[in-house]
Structure 1
Amino acid sequence: MAIQLSKGQRIDLTKTNPGLVKGLIGLGWDTNKYQGGSDFDLDASAFLVDANNRCQNDLDFVFYNNLEHPSKSVIHTGDNRTGEGDGDDEQLIVDFSQIPAHVDKIGITVTIHDGETRHQNFGQVSNAFVRLADEATGEELLRFDLGEDFSIETSVVVCELYRHGSEWKFNAIGSGFSGGLASLCRNYGLDV
């Protein structure tokens, strides 16, 4: 049975699950029905950052236009432009054995594509979650439901995977940003 996390909680990943090599990170959400004239397009991304919380280059940013890190440590399985249906809307696969030595942390984020232009924000999103499963067995190890704490934000740092010695841990973040993907990129040291 998966462990249910609360905002701010941290948990061991590789230490308590010694056979875990690849983690499947599933992200899901629902959009509240409203007459805004535009569909919602939410996008999952991963920022592979060093000890200074900075991406060393653009390739350390995995998203819908760069689906795979050169190390093959993080792979985005593809952009879901509608979010329709139940379960995961987008997925990332993290291979803990392939993460480069310079990567100290992986920030997992969700943004609303063109949120400012379309007047869309996370106050209009419900049932958002992240879950982590063992990719080899399909067993769900943990889940973090984001709750309804957002209003004007157009991007959210959902969680972080971070290095602790030779092990990897999971941190349930749930922190919102305004300014969409561009503000997240600047936060992680990338030029926009």
Structure 2
Amino acid sequence: MRKISGKEVRTLITLIKGQRINLSKQYPEIDKLKIDISWKLKAPQHSNFYEIDLSAFMINQDAVIPEEGYFIFYNNPLSSDHSLAMSKVVPAAENQELFLNLAGVSPEIEKVTFILTIHDAEIRKQNFSHFENISLTIWDEESKEELLSFAIDGFEQETAFELGNVYRKEGSWRFNPIGRGYNRGLQEFLDIYHPAAAAETPYKEEKECETERPMISKLDLLKKKVDIIIERKALQKIRARVGVVLDISGSMRRLYKEGIVQNVMGRLLALATRFDDDGILDVWIYDNSFSRLPSVSERDFPNYVEREILKNTGVSKFTANNEPPVMRDVLNKYIKEENSSLPVYLIFINDGGIKKAKKNQDSVANVLIDSSKEPIFWQFAGIGDGNFDVLRKLDDLDGRYADNAGFFHIPDIEKETDEELYEKLLHEFPRWMAEAREKKILAR
């Protein structure tokens, strides 16, 4: 014990990797723990560009989670037995907390392991070498006293860390400071502790047996992030057909070749599964001409861009861009070929270069005016550092029956977090839904 301001408090124990401690013996009267995980970036890195995820796996004697409720992360913050809770995620924060009641842990749970990962690390070219340190500190939740701490530094190319675990042995709870790095992110631990999770894809090629547990995949995690934004905007009951138009002009070449477009499509597919009753995303690409591609679902999403675009010799790619023809085909599909009472939410991704139309030429403005009485909302997303003057003026476009388009700009899509992207994608859609119902474009 030590004294602070005349009061006796416990001595903080500083652990090193592998230095296990018997919690039940060292602190026999303590059951409720606060586990604080903190991290610090090196200068000049900026926390807004890094999406750090804390998670915990509550593992049984077979070394797997017994059910989904024992995988704790931002959208499942409370375990099935209510013994482990996670604090609310604060964007750009450099710490997060877990609260563990040892007395309440289900008898089937033998170990609770704590994981820190960088979301989309490979795509964003991020790893823990950009960090100075990671610290795990355990507190007595009731007395607010620090009990022990464990620090990790000396990082290389790791994208995930198993920080440590609390485990049962011979009737006692113990803590093991691990500090082991991995290079496959969260998927590494899904493979280890949740065998039903697919290693690289959100589905299995072979037929799954009926008794197999549901899989957790990267796409499943994205869906849960979408759900947070949908609930925040009260869009839970919305059903809509969802499509995406992708710019494939010459300046987009790198984004296609390096897998950035495939990654973006995964983020959009997660949104489509929440709006579209068929769980599909309709797809167009365009440069000087356009192609209407096969719609994509979870089952055929893996390698979609490589298979349907890059290796498809029948589609035009990497020339100059021309928007009106592909926009007319979008209207042709949804308004003429497949007319429906459901609204259409169309995401249009462009990296700049839309030219102001000459006299008697079709234009983006003409298409928007012509479709302003139809149940279709155009969400334009400008990416990169191109010229978006035409798109920026959409909100002031005269001649429309309803304001049927929105625009936002993302300088670097690789650094945009999922939450930021979904927030921007769904910012103006609710307003259009309300106006479309008011003007009887949509049924109330």
CA contact 2:84–2:101 (8 Å) conserved in 1: yes
Q: 2:194 aligns with which of 176, 182, 189?
A: 189
- List aligned pairs for 1:1-192, cutoff 5 A: 1-34=11-44, 39-84=49-94, 89-148=95-154, 150-190=155-195, 191=197, 192=217
Kindly state the Cα deviation for residue 46 of structure 1 after the two structures are TM-superposed: 0.8
d(CA) in 1 for partners of 2:105 and 2:47?
A: 41
Amino acid at match of 2:110: D
Q: CA RMSD in A?
A: 1.7
Shift of 1:152: 1.3
* Alignment length (residue pairs): 187
Q: Which amino acid aligns with 1:121?
A: N
Instruction: Output one character per residue of 1:29-57: Cα deviation in whole Å (capped at 9) or x when no partner.
Output: 11123469961121211100012321112
> Which runs of 5 or more residues in structure 1 are unaligned?
none
User: 1:81 Cα shift?
Assistant: 2.4
Say whether the 8 Å CA contact 1:30–1:83 is kept in structure 2.
no
Q: Following TM superposition, where does structure 1 have runs of at least 4 consecutive aligned residues deviating by more than 2 angstroms? A: 33-38
Give the % identical residues: 31
- 1:7-47 C-alpha deviation (Å, 9 max, x unpaired): 11100112211111111000001112346996112121110
Q: 1:70-124 deviations in whole A, cap 9, x for unaligned?
A: 211110012132135xxxx100000001101111100111111221111111111
Unaligned regions of 5+ residues in structure 2, if any?
Answer: 1-10, 198-216, 218-444
Report which structure shows greater RCO (CA 8 Å, sep ≥6).
1
Of Structure 1 and Structure 2, which has the larger fraction of its residues in strand? 1
TM-score, length basis structure 1: 0.91
> Could you tell me the TM-score, scaled by structure 2's length?
0.41
Give the number of the structure whose alpha-carbon radius of gyration is greater. 2
- SS state at 2:187 partner: helix
- Normalized per residue, the structure richer in helix is 2
Corresponding residue SS for 2:191: helix
1:59-79 deviation per Cα after TM superposition (whole angstroms, max 9, x unaligned): 111011100002111100121
